[in-house]
Chain A
Amino acid sequence: MSAIEDLVTELSQLPGIGRKTAQRLTFYLLKQPVETARRLADAIRAVRDRVKACGVCGMLTDDDPCVICSDPRRDPSVVCVVEESADVGAIERAGRFRGRYHVLGGRLSPLEGVGPEALHLEHLLGRVGDGSGVREVIIATNPSMEGEVTATYLQQVLRPSGVRVTRIARGLPVGGDLEYADGVTIAQALLARRDMSEAD
């Protein structure tokens, strides 16, 4: 097999990339200066060699513990549980959460063969039960069916610990338009309404 064919085959294994796109990317790289291809290859190698799961929260990171777990200014008594490392970035961009995280590494999905044993639950239960002062666990799994059932399961397994378990709210997006929102979202927004005195 030629080197071109090798690269096309490897690229076409990536999600969302078919054979034609893989061919296009291959020929694009061949037309670039050799340094461009080297940098890409080095970056791929480095990410595999250096990135690992944080031993505390499970987030993918260069350092263990990660920058959030090792930051003394973060509140260790509030833990936000998310499905994937990318979700941490989304919440951090909002700039309002000052607690710490726990990354499950997925969500319950029977159809995909993902059960509780595939999630990083023992770490979470250990953090809640090790006397480190966790007062609240915020479940921030996605509002999909699998995310909701994962939240239900987490609530069950955390209940015996006595820790406060909360779920992120669902509702209308900022800048959204009621006229274009679907009925389910509007119903959820109405259910999660709150007194205006609480609003900031």
Chain B
Amino acid sequence: MKAPDILSATDGNLVLSLDKGLYPLDVIYGAAYVFIDRAYILLGKVDDKITVHLTPKAPTSRKGGISAEDMVGEFGNELLSQALRKKITRDNQQILETIVSQALAGATGAMVPSEFDDDDDDDLDFLDDPLGIAVPWEERFKKRGSAPAQRGPDTEKEEAGPGDSGGHNTTGADE
């Protein structure tokens, strides 16, 4: 991309000329907006070119503040940055619109994902247990037939029922 042409540079006042074909007006607006706190900016138009009058607010000098040449360089960089930003936005326009439209549609309830749209169990009561989750372990895995289970080292002397924690017997029945 071609650097901005410096038409004049007197007493820190710079006049740049930008080709509208290379730098669209939106790009120039963006760069000017970034510099608006550091410089006085006046845009103009001569034929097919946009002129930019840049006057730094702080005095320009080689030792202290930014020099006029530096400001032109920074302005050129900002123009390039804005042009790239514009290109990226344009390239991703369709993706952005898709994301926003889906977000808006979701917020209004217009689009419900298919997995949440399953109405097969609409007639179930909250006490129904089609998967058998509420069935006690003993009932589900009870050995069929009457043969007693073989005792192992971890088995208790008496058959423990559900809820029997095997704690202290307060009735004194074992004594």
Binding partners A and B:
no
A residues apposed to B, CB below 8 Å: none
